[in-house]
Structure 1
């Protein structure tokens, strides 16, 4: 039974603009409908908040504020937010309509995915999250239910930014809670905080689930799952799916580290790591079939479980056309018929001709209407994920011309069809344009050796790559500030946004002169003559050097630097003066211990004959001050010297 017929909103027009056509799904905070924007004549998804939440003014304000922020997040892999408004008791969001299935649907149907498919889904998810993280958003509720896979193969992330408004207001059954807590990071559980690394943790759990078909932490209650998140590491996928490569185990372990600092900083960093893992794996490792995988019996996109179900046609198209082509003629007035010679009545010849003419007119009119409405159009057959040759043959067999447009795709393999225009099931007169995948986009690392660093960075960015770590090394052959090498090297082909590390020349090494003990002027002159810059540290120290002279330098005199490097000088406050303790009358060991603890060196003067062990005199009187580290001589009582 169609449950949408029982929904009072179906058939209504919200805000004088959005006509609600069918209910799609019901969640903890809202119901989602398929609707038509009557102003722009487009299909969209309408998310209407439950009235129990709509009555909470604070919640509604936060909901609206989040929606406005997320609407500014424009990314190909993010479900777009078009509009937000209220109509009476109804608070709604107008969002992009995505026909396809959720990752949860795929996992239910397939059990587990081979690594190539898992990475094909993970990478656009991370691209979407990376754009959000760089814009200051944290998703906070990443899970397979929020990953949509369109019929055209595109992957999109839903419900950006709205989780913050849901956290304290959404009630759910135990099962629903358990489904959500499976992806919570330890810090979300323990402290209630979430930054970009919480999304990274959730993506690691999702990757584990794609590779194994199971969640890493299981339990009959949410509390059991939460305890495992806090106290147990996510196990390696290969523990239950031995075909999983060690590199993928390491990727999952990095993303799901319980310690925040051990995880990648955000989705951009995790995306780079995922692409590096893909590049490191062989085709056999990428296409390894996990034991948990189920056979997919669906026949292409037309049989997919859809996130937004297609409406069933109320009347067959041909039947509707036939009804259209029927014409009703007004009844003729009754006429008397003459009997024939045998006493039977016969129809006049003119009446027979009239009927035949009317029938022929109806047939001709029906054929004309059929041709104008349907006969000159052909229904586009489904060609999604077929090879270019297969798609062209299928379209040609249907009597259609084919135009081919090549596009890059992170999801659809090279040579297969991404989509068609018009789409499958639509009627077209003569030609169809198909979009064929060229595979993932690729970028070539440019040759920037010898270029100034700024120019090299610009050239790398122009190729669609990102600049990674920049390190510096001495070189007597390459000018200071110019590029020595890159990794990957020039000519290497990588995916866009791959990080390219750069090594920059520090020029020829220069020995750092020893200026400790020199005056500031002398030290500055000696260092600047060698091409160094000089910085005077704010903090001064006690030292053996004269007050105001250089007590220490960094880097030290036994090191090397490059011209233009800065040498930091620490100035001396002179020797520290310390009060001398009174040790006369003490045993020699105790006197020595007290003086050394005070910071002095100790010299013991003993008698030549019959030396005693008690201090008779000390070289600096008690209570006077002496430089720290200076020597105090103590004289012991005894016999003849």
Structure 2
């Protein structure tokens, strides 16, 4: 298990997302460039094959030189502790094989659009002298907006030079194998054209052109049989589109498109109105290539003839010597001969007619004998053609048989080797293949248990589409195909489920120091919820994140709440209120008493006291308070002082300043 392992000190392996006969593919994360990547890791059984490793590195390095929008970009190729891996662009989508299984047969417009993108990618590789050699829907990815991405350039080329005895490797590609590859020849650019033609056939029909019980039998069909007409299964496909399939899959590479450029150019106009009903494509017949019928010459014609003699048919005749006959005898016997010959001929004709009617004519009118050949293991249509060509009738019984392919003859009666008359009926038993079974509903069940169950029931394959959900990990969420209740043939059926992988986990970045808006956008992109509080901080600028919870580099579930504390900047100092008490002395003497009834207060002369305050609320040039005093009086001076500022007050008595004082903000402790 590689999950959690870091390769090359930068690529963190996260989860298995696919695999094949040669390698497994993992979703990874590039910690340096901060992006998701796909990591293809060769299976361990190839780690000790020095020749394979050497070729793999060389071809993989070649593949890194390819840069095209329809080719999966290879970022890195390396090995670590016998782990050989390629780091590639991560394509968020599905393989073209999966798309075909879900949506085929496709409309001609969509099939041509997809094929054109693949062709553009392969042409780019050909321009760089790279032949793919393993073009098949399993090696083609599709994004959600239907952009095609061709992959496996490096691995396909490396594998072609090693032994192909691995069953999975052969079966994975034999359906798309060109005839020259099937016979063991070297692949070339036209081999890629052939394979792409098979892919187009599958897009249009939803099926493969050839099938068989083994890879060898399929390869032989690629060598010996013409690709069947697309219209047999997709009647609405224009003839021009079918012609592209027929030309690209011609057995002889000379009859195919001569380059991928020519293939692409044909695709550009294949759906034009004036081409839709063009004549069917025919493989050109070169003089001298056609099969010639050799006449049968009997050996007896050559008896007693030299090598240069011409064979001549001769008739025998009786010749008498004229010297033995006299003129008289001739005359006398002439009349007798005429009578005798006339009567004899009449009798012979009558007798011959009678004998011919009784013995010869029935024989001539009797049907010819036909020796039956072995029709078992032949295709139904092939067997019917042979019987019809030999003037034999037939009756077909269809039975289910999981050991014999669909439409293949199981048995015949009479048996092969027997001689029968023309018009004789021959009974054929033809296979319907494996008997269909009703598909059950496996929703809400454990995927691992259902997978084991279906594979034990000989289903072709069981596949999963991982989906994040609230359900427990491994729970089947949706039965994509086939639908419950439908009749299916297990050996021909791929079952697809959507399976829960639990809630999506997100690795949380360190957000401290980010602007609040940036932090919120990041959390939204990761499907996380931001909860923001604010606090003053003398060191962090206003609007930036001071703290977060959970902290960075921690995995959290999608939808989790992330608490952010955002700085309000330095806290603003308040205005301080300060009071100071000042006693102003009375400085005048008493006046002399006018009479005994004059009170002390009446003898005192009032002094005028003026108070001026300069602070946040008062202007120092304006009088704050005026009061007449006749004795020492204490005044309370209220002041409001702003941060980093000061307040001033001044007291005048009879227009003379008696107190003037400055109070600074920082000199005040506390304040109201």
Which TM bucket (shorter chain)?
0.3 to 0.5
Query: TM-score, normalised to structure 1's length?
Result: 0.44
Q: Which has the higher contact order (CA 8 A, sep 6+)?
A: 1
Query: TM-score, normalised to structure 2's length?
Result: 0.42
